[in-house]
A = this chain, B = another copy of it.
Amino acid sequence: MLTKQKQDFAKWYNEVILSADLAEYSPVKGCMIIKPYGYAIWENIQKNLDNEIKNLGVKNVYFPLFIPEKFLKKEAEHIKGFAPQVAWITQGGNKKLQERLAVRPTSETIINDAFKKWIQSYRDLPLKINQWANIVRWEMRPRLFLRTLEFLWQEGHTAHKTEKEADEMAKTALKMYHDFVQNWLGIYCVSGKKTEAEKFAGALYTLSVESLMKDGKALQMGTSHQLGQNFSKSFGIQFLDEKGKKNYVWQTSWGVSTRMIGGLVMAHGDDGGLILPPRIAPYQIVIIPISQDKSVKNYILKIEKILKNIRFYIDWNRQQTPGWKFHEWELKGVPVRIEIGPKEVKAGKITFVLRNALKREIVELKQFKPEKILNDLQKQLLEKSKKFTEDNTHQVRSYQEFKDTIKKKGGFIKAFWCGDEKCEKKIQQETKATIRCIVKDNKLGGCIKCGKEAKSEVLFAKAY
């Protein structure tokens, strides 16, 4: 039995991931092994997000895992941000290296070195590429999927003629993530700009997609950075414009990672285990034969024909009882379970249970419409997630109320902020809440911390 969410959410999270066979820790501290069931979820995310990325006219490439130290150092903010997290290669094939190599913590620098050669004229712009790759950031407090020394991600990198074009690209990528998280993962999210303190090391500004987990903490699901001309100036990426004038390109980068799987677990799961959205679930339907009679087998053959567009699995395992299997597939979060025994065969019916509701339904075989059921389920998950987020988004009038709310309720707190990093830091020190994103510029209020005229309305939350 799993630990209850209310009792210890972090423990529940770990237990679900291990017992549903998504992943496990490896003997290399901080690294994880993604097991078949977890990797199948990643493959579904990857395949469908890859389509969206390609629809933006972005092309896939592959850049080296290793980055020369001097590249990382070219953009001052960038190296400052990433240096404490870098794994270094100092030895190759029995020889000590003259210059050590970083294992990529992100690829802006090595990609920009290539962009410098690839970009000559305005005709080479916009340049839009993406790669699916493994990333290493030295991590001292690892948590499966959420924070691991190595993780899998995609990173988009683009170069543009103007600031406006790069602004638009950063927004477009963010919208793609926002829609993907809502429409595929069924998780409601809010988008906005990060504060200066929270932006990507080397960016002009960072946009992010944030979702609320069931324990009231926020998870950053994806980020999109307007890099300005910071990297193009460090790396000397210039183009000749239509008038023959040299200009530095404007750039963006944006990414999501295997962390999204952690989000899936924490946004939908319950005390019984995972609840997977149908569009991403490795199996959308599982069929549990109540007996192994010939008539049951033949009847299931008939059902298989109705499921030809569905990812399904028939659990014929003779070692386990149907009851054990119900429990197991609930734990694994399969959206729909079908139970077929002699009773169903005789009546020409189908018994099924929706993972989200855990209520048994019985219908005539002819009236069983799996596509519709799965579509409805997908929508319900998003609605539920939206309602949960709205119910747990609080407006507060005083800093005392802020502190009480964060402590007792968690969730998002919408509040005014003066824009001063000192207030931001103090709030974090006192409450552990950080500004997840700036919702909008709004001066019609006082800063929740210092009371001075606000600059913007922001969302606070404790976050992963």
Interface residues of A (CB under 8 A from B): 24, 26-28, 31-36, 39-40, 42-43, 59-68, 71, 83-94, 100-101, 103, 110, 113-114, 123, 129, 133-134, 136, 138, 140, 149-150, 152, 319
CA distance A150 to B63 in the complex (A): 10
Point out the residues of chain B lying under 8 angstroms from A93, CB to CB.
Answer: 84-87, 138, 140
Q: Check if B26 sits within 8 Å of A319, measured CB to CB.
A: no
Q: Given A88-B91, A90-B90, is A33 in contact with B150 using a C-beta cutoff of 8 Å?
A: no
Q: Which residues of B contact A114 (CB under 8 A)?
A: 24, 26, 33
Expressed in whole angstroms, the Cα–Cα distance for A100 and B24 within the complex equals 22
Contact check, A89 vs B103: say whether CB atoms are below 8 A apart. yes
A23 and chain B: residue at smallest CB distance:
B62
CB contact under 8 A between A91 and B94, given known A28-B68, A64-B150, A114-B33: no
B27 pairs with A110, CB closer than 8 A = yes
For this complex, 15 residue pairs linking A to B, each with C-beta atoms less than 8 Å apart, are A27-B71, A33-B63, A33-B114, A34-B62, A36-B59, A36-B60, A36-B129, A40-B59, A43-B60, A65-B136, A65-B150, A87-B92, A91-B100, A93-B140, A103-B103
Q: In the complex the two chains form, what is the Cα distance from A43 to B60 in whole Å?
A: 9
Tell me whether A150 and B31 are in contact (CB under 8 A): no
Neighbouring B residues of A34 by C-beta, 8 Å: 61-62
State A68–B114 Cα separation when bound (angstroms). Answer: 33
Within the complex, the shortest CB–CB distance from A438 to chain B, in Å, comes to: 30
Q: Taking CB as reference atom, which chain B residue is nearest A317?
A: B123
Which of B61, B64, B136 makes the CB contact (< 8 A) with A28?
A: B64
Count copies of this chain in the complex.
Answer: 2
Given A39-B60, A61-B34, A91-B90, A150-B66 contact (CB < 8 Å): yes
Q: Cβ of B33 and Cβ of A64 under 8 Å apart?
A: yes
B-chain residues with CB within 8 Å of residue A59 when the two chains form the complex? 36, 39-40
Chain B residues within 8 Å of A84, by CB: 93-94
Question: Closest residue to A99 on the B side, CB-wise?
Answer: B28
State A18–B110 Cα separation when bound (angstroms): 19
Residues of B within 8 A of A66 (CB): 28, 31, 87, 149-150
A114 CA to B61 CA, complexed, in Å? 31
CB atoms of A83 and B94 under 8 A apart: yes
> How far is B38's CA from A129's CA once the two chains are assembled, in angstroms?
13
Contacts of A134 in B (CB 8 A): 65, 133-134
| Cβ contacts under 8 Å, A123 to chain B | 319
CB within 8 A of A65: which of B31, B36, B62?
Answer: B31
A92 pairs with B138, CB closer than 8 A: yes
Per the bound structure, the CA–CA distance linking A335 and B32 in Å amounts to 43
| Closest CB in chain B relative to A334 CB, distance in Å | 16
State whether A27 and B68 are in contact (beta carbons under 8 Å apart), knowing that A87-B89, A91-B87 are contacts in the complex: yes
